[in-house]
Structure 1
């Protein structure tokens, strides 16, 4: 008597480029054991599809152009957080063109179980999907190289709040303006700056912005 084959892993693809989604669907469905049950180009719809379809894994692009009701951008990190807050959350694998240290850290902190570059080989993507579905962690070599040790303890990078402070610094905002924007006390902003200077080894605002950009923690427009 022949054995029963394992059920296919159910996957939802989230990417705001239609051609990329079509290519990913074709690639994944050519691999035994994978079934694409949904796809979308924005984070809000991704959360709704997860709740409706109950996938095992979500492939999530970092850079999404979807905007929420208040006009704020819902990127792949925020969409990941919302998906993982659903009643029966799937595993999330980030699939992106970028391997910046800050992006990898943000993805791991948000709860993603994988981080794969679009330029990588298909086998890398397949391994990441299977590892995530099994409860493991799968980082592309380029992403894993951002960490000296365990990816869950990535070292002296800035916290998400500290990165928000540096982004506002980069736009020339004062401590008072930063405090108002982030709904913080001005003294709290000063405390964040002290910690940021210490972590980055900088001594002033301009040097901090320059170093943060060099490390890929922020992008200067």
Structure 2
């Protein structure tokens, strides 16, 4: 009797299972250290079976990064029971980002620190070109969402040029990402001795310090 084909739900579940495992391996060992054979072994599958879902590592990376942003947007779009002040919404946004890093560290790293992969050496299928376009759109939406939150907190920011707004948002996000990375990778052991991943008594003053800089001229942030 021929094997019953997978349903759309089963195919989606299998793809997510592959991406979850690959995200961890890519983040821990590096993009080039991942082989489909090793990944297949970890998933109790055959490498040829994985190729049925993703034609190559470049395709797998693209899909992992897109899924990461989709998962993050699901988290930050959860309805808030009460209307919070703008500053508290921004703090919540940062805490959600940190929570995402804690729960899905592999996705977080590949989303915001993608490897210098072999882009261009693997021809993308039409489907993966569509994935790349969706990823670009999600990344832009993520950055615009940050800009809107910052403008809500600092009305003075709205009157600045688009270039200045982008520089302020860049300053804000890179500071948060730097804090997350230092804690995640324990790269400053003396300063982080005995601390878990960004406790409130570290995070809250850090956010407040960043917010206090928003109303300063951009030149003062250099």
Structure with more of its chain in strand, by fraction: 1
Name the structure where helix makes up a greater proportion of residues: 2
TM-score (norm: length of structure 2): 0.30
Q: Rg larger in 1 or in 2?
A: 2
